[in-house]
Structure 1
Amino acid sequence: MPGTDYAVDLSQGTTPLGAGFLLAPCYVLTAHHCLNDMAPGDDRRHNIAHWTEATGHPGEALRLFRELLHDRTAALGPDHPHTLLNRYRVTRLMRPSVGGDGLTRLLPVFLRVFGEEHPWTRRLRHEIEAP
């Protein structure tokens, strides 16, 4: 459909790469200064970190998730569902370097906050059991 794509200026670090077009208009990457103005509970920052990981940049995704985790913990508290989801993401991305213990430590908190059958609790259990 004409007019449904979004043009964005792309850069890598401080090197401008020019304009780019996103195929899915529901995910628009914004400038870093705009990300800083988003509230800690705003899902857009989480989504950007998620799609950064999904497109093959786990190191950058970990950085984005860590920043968001800091902000969410301060604003929402350590046991808020959004904060816990962020803790899961950070711990999972760090798993190759620190092992599965971090995920195992999250399980009692997930059980208390979400319950045994919640999809996030089940996903965490699956991650813990995976080799």
Structure 2
Amino acid sequence: MVYGYESAGDLGRAIPLYEATLTDYERVLGPDHPHTLSSRNNLAHAYGSAGDLGRAIPLYEATLADQERVLGPDHPDTLSSRNNLANAYRLMGDLGRAIPLYEATLADYERVLGPDHPHTLISRNNLANAYRLMGDLGRAIPLHEATLADCKRVLGPDHPTTEAVRRSLETARDS
């Protein structure tokens, strides 16, 4: 139900439910349980979606540190949290912190999940978008082009991720 509220854009209902869920997970399962860590990441995402990066970023940072400690640096949930933190830094306009985190996350996704995994493809697109925002079209456009070709091959030409990458490439070319 919480995700439904967030998906519908009703963050006023979603955030209190995410907060209550996190409190319950911490009480019942403890602060280091994988479900608790996932719940913290979900709450951070909801804060970020609401534009409250002041609450989202510290929660992402703490969650990432705990996931690296509990799950390890190569666990897919850890990689996802690292990508989410990079997104938050980008939204804050801090490309100096976002880009190295995107680069490290992409390298780890490629090593752990492989170059064709959907998370890897999304991570590559995120990095290319950050390069574009930094004004480095020489790196952004070729990365978008390669990612789009891989998305078409792996996911198909009409997949939502393929469409998102196509739009990102068009934006970069129009820059």
Question: What residue number does 2:106 align with?
Answer: 69
Moved more, 112-121 or 29-38: 29-38
Q: Is it true that 1:113 corresponds to 2:154 in the alignment?
A: yes
Structure-2-length-normalised TM-score: 0.55
Determine helix, strand or coil for the equivalent of 1:100: helix
Between the two proteins, the alignment pairs up a number of residues equal to 112
Give the residue type in structure 2 aligned to 1:125.
Answer: R
Question: What residue number does 1:57 align with?
Answer: 94
Query: Would you say the 8 A contact 1:76–1:83 is kept in 2?
Result: yes
Q: Which runs of 4+ in 1 moved over 6 A?
A: none
Whole-Å Cα distance in 2 between the matches of residues 125 and 33 of structure 1?
Answer: 33
Q: Is it true that 1:45 corresponds to 2:45 in the alignment?
A: no
Alignment CA distance shift 1:54-1:31 (3 Å): same
Identity in percent: 28
Q: Is it true that 1:81 corresponds to 2:111 in the alignment?
A: no
Query: Would you say the 8 A contact 1:41–1:82 is kept in 2?
Result: no
Give the strand-richer structure, 1 or 2.
1
Give the helix-richer structure, 1 or 2.
2
Q: CA RMSD in A?
A: 2.6
Alignment CA distance shift 1:77-1:71 (3 Å): same
Structure-1-length-normalised TM-score: 0.71
Moved more, 26-35 or 53-62: 26-35
Query: Would you say the 8 A contact 2:144–2:165 is kept in 1?
Result: yes
Query: Would you say the 8 A contact 1:107–1:125 is kept in 2?
Result: yes
Structure scoring higher RCO (CA < 8 A, sep ≥ 6) equals 1
Give 1:59 shift: 2.2
Whole-Å Cα distance in 1 between the matches of residues 64 and 168 of structure 2?
Answer: 31
